Chains A and B, each alone.
Chain A
Amino acid sequence: MARWGMVIDLARCIGCAGCQMACKAENGTPPGITWCRVEVKDIGNFPAVRRIPLPVQCMHCREPECEKVCPTGATEKTESGIVRVDSELCMGCRACVLACPYGARYFYEEKKGYYETLSLFEELAYKRHRVGTVTKCDFCQERVERGLDQGLKPGVDREATPACVFNCMTKGRFFGDLDDPRSTVSLLVASGRAFQLLPGHPSDPQVYYLTPGTTLSAGGREDGK
C-alpha cells in the first residue's frame, strides 16, 4: 500500500492560484470553500524583501489533529495515508475545522451558489458535497483510485494525479508514494530543500515544501551603501 504525499516547490511557484482553480473545477467545491488556496506573504525588510506565494491545503498529516478531535469518526486516515471525511458520518460540529493548524478544512454551511440561483455548472458540480458537513482536500482520491484501477501511476500519469499537480503552470507540484524511495516525491523530500509547515509540530504533514532558495539580496544596494 502506497503512502501518498505531495511536494510543492516554492522556487517554481509564482502564486498564480492555478492550483486553487484546478481544485475548484475538479472537485466542484461551493463558494467560500477552497480546498487548495494560495496565500501571499512578504518576508524581510525593504529593500531586502521577497514576496512568497504559498499554496496551502490539507497536509494529510501522519498524526492528524483533525482526526483526534472528530467525535464521530467521520474523519479518518486511510491506509494509503489520505485523510478523508466521510460525509455520511460527519455531524458538522466543526471541531476539526478549528483543530487543523493549517486552516485546511471548510464547513459546507448551506446549499448556495455564487449567484442568486445555481448555474447549470453548479447544479452538476455540487452534487457530491453534503450540506452541514465539513469538507477538505482528499488528494483527488477518486481520480487517483480510478487511475490506479486503470493501471496508471499517480504522480506520473495525468489521469491518476491530483488536479492541482498536473495543472500547475510552473510544474511546481509533485505527487507520489512517499514509501517508495525512488519516487520523485521521496527524492525531493530527501533533497535537503524540503520542509514542513509549522516545524516541530507533531502532526507530521505529508505535504512538503521545497525552499524557494531566495537570497534576500540587498535589492540594488551595493556593499557599504
Chain B
Amino acid sequence: MNQELHKKTEREDRWIPTICGECYNACSILVRVVNGVVRKIEGNPDSPIGMGRLCPKGTAGIMTMYDPNRVNAPLKRTNPEKGIGVDPRWQEITWEEALATVAEKLKKVRREDPKKLFMMGTTTTVSIQRGVSVSFATAFGTPNHSSSGGGLHCGNGAHFAAGLFHGSWSMVPDFEYCQYAIYFGSSKGHAAGHAANINAQMAADARARGMKLVVVDPLCSFAAAKSTEWVPIRPGTDGAMALAMINTLLNELGIYDAEYLQKHTNAPYLIGPDGYYVKDLDSGKPLVWDLGTGAPKCFDASDVMDYALEGVFEVQGTRCQPAFTLLREHVKSYTAEKAETISTVPAATIRRLAREFGEHSRIGSTIIMDGKKFPFRPVAAVVFRGAQGHKNSAHTCYSIELLNQIVGCSDVVGGSLGFNPVSFGHPDTGQPAFAPTPAPDGLLCPGTWLTPHRIYPPRDPAPPQTMGLKEIHPLGQSSPYVVSADQEELWTKFNLSYRPEVMLNYGANPVMTMGNPGTVIEALKKIPFIVSSNLFLNEFTDLADIVLPDTCYMERYDTLPNSPPILNHPAGMGEWGFAIGQPVVPRQYQRWDYGEFILEVADRIGITRELNAVLNMFYGLQPPYELPPDRKTTREELADLHLKFNFGAERGLQWFKEHGLIKWPKKPEEVYWRIHNKCRVPVYMEFMKRTGTKVKKILELFDVPLDLSHYEALPDWHPCPSHQVKDPQFDLYAFYYRDVLHTNSATMENAWLDEASEINPYSYNITIHPAVGKKKGIQNGDLIWVESVSGRKVRGKVNLSEGINPEGLAVAGCMGHWALGMPKAKGKGVLFNELLELDMNHADPANMNLDLCVKVKIYRDHQGRS
C-alpha cells in the first residue's frame, strides 16, 4: 500500500490518472479525490483509450466503489446446506484463517491431482483474470480455467473468426474510411462491446461523414437505431443470409477481389476429391496451380506467376480443384430465395445488399497513406454476439467473415479491421511487438492472443481430461460443460479420472451468466469447496464456502490492461496508448486485490517458483526484468518489471503512476498490415474437416454421439433447436441483447445505472411487437410469463415496440438478480438465461458456443398488471 495515500492532507483535491474497471475495456480515466474520497471520474483527455470521454458505466463507477453493500472482510459459511434462498450464515473470519484454509485445501488437491482445481474468472476485468489467475492455474497444473458466460455466450464463434481472419480478438469497420458497413447482430460503436467508448466516438464521426450502416438484427437495437437500413431478420439465420449474399456476389454479379484471394487467402489451394489439401510430397506444403507455368507449385513458392482460382487440374494422379472453385460451387445452393424462406429477409433485399456491398468495395482501388500505396476497400461485414450466439455459431461467423474476404476488405484501408494485431512497439524499445505469422500451411496464426493457445493451428483432438471437454472441441474456448446438465453423464462416458474438488472464482457470477441457474447450481453444488473473491454477495457466493473481499479497480494496481491491444484498444489510425491502474484512495476495511491473494496463496502452497516462471512467460519478461524465482512478488513489482521491460528502465511504475500512460503514433503499416504480411486466411476450412475426422475417431471410442456435420470445410447454414420447434403454441423466438447501460451482470447493482435503466424502456422490460400483444390481449406494462418448450419460464413487464421483428421477443441480458447482497439489482429486469438449456444439444458441436435463442410462448400473469 502506498504510504503517500495514507497521509490525508486537509484540503486534498487532485486528479489521479488510472483505468476504469466497469468493463473489460479499461478506458483511461482521471479520478478526482477530495480529502481521500473519490468525488468524480472523468475520461482522461490525454489518452487514446477514451480521449477524455466516458461511457455511463465509467462515470457511475463511484457508486460501485462506495456501495455500502460491498464485502469488506473474509467470510466463512457456517451453514453446510447450499441452494437458492438458503442463507449461508456467513461468519467473518481473519485473512489468516481464510488463507490457511484455502492453502490447505489447495495443497491436498495438488497432491492428489492438480486438475481437481477449477478456476473461473469474470470477463468484466479481463486483465486480472488473464494475468495472475490464468498463470496460477498453469503453475498449479490445472487445465480447468474458465470464463463464465462472457466467453460462452459472446465469444466462441466471433473471437475464433476474428482470430483466424484478422489475428485479433474482434473486429470493427475502419470507421475513419469505411463507406458501407453491414452489421450482423453487432452493436460495435453503438453500445457495449470492445473498445466501446472510443468506437462510439468513431462511429458517430463515421455517421456524420456519411458511412452507410446496414444493421441485420431482429431488434431495432441502438445500432439499428442509427442505421441507414434496419433489416429485421429471424434470429439465428444470419449465416443463411450471408451465404446468399456470397452466392449473389460470386455467381450472379461476379464481384470478387481475385488478387486478394490469390495472395492472402487459401482460395488457390488445390483440394483433392477427399476434401483435403493436395500437398507437395517432399515438403508437405499445400499446392496451388500456377497458370503461368501450367504446373502445380507450393503455395509459398516465390515464382508463382498466376494462381489459378478456377478450373480442374490433375496433380499426383488425382483430379483436384482450387478451393475457390469449390466455394463458388458450394454456395450456388444458397439462392436468395432459399435464404428468404430461412431468414424472412426478402430475396430482393439480399441481392440488393450484396450488390451494394460489392459495389462499395471498389475492388482494385488504392489510397496513399503516409506516402505509401494501400488497397482501399471501404466496406466491412461485422459479426458479433447476436449472430454468433447460436448453435450454428462457427459456420455463421465463417460465412459472414467470407464476405470480407471475397471483396478483399480485410485489414486494408476502409475495410474490416481486427483490433491491432500488428504492433512494431514503442520507438524507444521496440516493445510490445507482435504480428501474425504463417503456420506451416500458410494460414494465419495470431501474433498475440488472450489465452495461451493461439487458435491456429488447432489443437489435436484427444480423449478429454478437462472438465470442459476442450480436447474434443479444439476450436472452442469457453465451455458449457463445466456447469452443464449432462456433464456427469459425459464425464463418466469419457472416463474423466477426477471430479473438481476446489473452485477458485474471481468475480464471475456463473449462476446468472451461463444458462438456467438451476442447472448451474446443481453442477456447482457438487464442488465441495468454493472460494470466491467478490465485490458483493451475489447468487454465486450463495454457493461459496469462503468469500474474499475484493478491491474495486480504484483500490488496486493493474499493469497495462490494454495489452495485448487486440481486445480493448481502438483499431484504426491514431495513437497507441498503454495505461496502468493504480489505487487512488486508501483501501478500506480488509479488502484485498485478488491478484495479491493469488500470489500469497501460491507462496503458501509452495509454487512461487512455478508461478513466477509462468508470469515471466505470460508477460514476456526477459532479463533484467524477470521476476525472481525464489520469492513471492507483489502486484507493484510485477507492474514495475512489466513496464520497464516494455518501455525502458526509466519508465517503471513510478513514472506511470505520475503519467498514467504512455502513447505514440501508429504507423499505417501497423494498422493496414494485410498486404505486408505473408499469412493467408482460409476461405476453405480444410482444418475443420481434418479436425472433425479426428474428433469422430475419439467419440467413437467413447460412444458419445455428437453432430459432426458442423466440421465441414465449406460454410453451411445449420438450423438451431429453436428453428425445429413445431408446436404452434411456441410462436416467438426469444433472444437477449446487451443493454447499453450494463456490463455482463456486474453493473446491475450500480445505483445510478439502475436509475437510468428505470427510464429506458429497453433495460428492464420484455419487448414484443404490438401485433403480438394485440393477438394475445397483452398491453404495455402487463406482467407476462415467457415459457420455453422445456417448461422453463421467466416473468417480466411488457414493453410493446414497433422496433422488433414480430416473431421475436427480446430481453436485456443478465438481469433479474435475486441475491440479497445486491439490493439495487434485486428484482430488476428479467433473467433471460433462465430459459437456456445447458447441454450438448444446445452447444455448437464445433466451438461449444451456447445457443442463446429459445422458442417460447407467452401469456399474461394472473396478477395482471404490475
Contact = CB atoms under 8 A, between A and B. Distances in A.
A and B touch in the complex (CB under 8 A): yes
Interface of A: 11-12, 14-18, 20-22, 24-26, 31-32, 34, 37-40, 42, 44-47, 49-53, 114-117, 119-125, 158, 166-172, 212, 214-215, 217, 219-222, 225
A17 B740 contact: yes
Given A21-B56, A38-B759, A40-B760, A114 B802 contact: no
B68 to A, nearest CB: 5
Given A34-B755, A219-B231, A166 B200 contact: no
Interface string B744-764: 000000011101100111100
A53 B801 contact: no
A117 B201 contact: no
B466 interface: no
Contacts of B69: 115
11 contacts: A14-B204, A15-B740, A16-B740, A16-B741, A38-B760, A39-B759, A121-B37, A167-B42, A167-B54, A169-B200, A217-B228
A17 B62 contact: no
B66 A51 contact: no
Interface residues of B, number: 73
A32 B39 CA distance: 19
B197 interface: yes
Nearest to A27: B40
A46 B39 contact: no
Given A26-B40, A39-B759, A15 B222 contact: yes
B759 A21 contact: no
Contacts of A16: 55-56, 191, 200, 222, 740-741
B291 interface: no
B349 A222 contact: yes
B719 interface: no
B322 interface: no
A52 B225 contact: yes
B751 A220 contact: no
A220 B229 contact: yes
A78 B9 CA distance: 37
A26 B62 CA distance: 12
Given A15-B222, A18-B56, A169-B55, A225 B201 contact: no
Interface string B786-817: 00000000000000011111100000000000
Given A24-B752, A25-B60, 19 more contacts: A15-B740, A15-B760, A18-B54, A22-B42, A24-B59, A31-B755, A45-B802, A46-B802, A49-B220, A51-B225, A114-B752, A119-B66, A119-B67, A120-B66, A121-B62, A167-B59, A212-B226, A220-B231, A222-B346
Contact of A170 (B201, B349, B751): B201
B657 interface: no
Given A17-B56, A25-B62, A225-B346, A219 B230 contact: yes
A124 B410 CA distance: 51
Interface string B46-66: 000000111111011011011
Contacts of A21: 56-57, 59-60, 752-753, 756
Given A32-B755, A34-B759, A169-B201, A18 B346 contact: no
Contacts of A44: 802
A17 B220 contact: no
Contacts of A14: 190-191, 200, 204, 222, 225-226, 740
Of residues B45, B228, B231, B756, which shows the largest number of chain A Cβ atoms within 10 Å of its Cβ? B756
B279 interface: no
Contacts of B40: 25-26
A217 B229 contact: yes
Contacts of A123: 37
B205 interface: yes
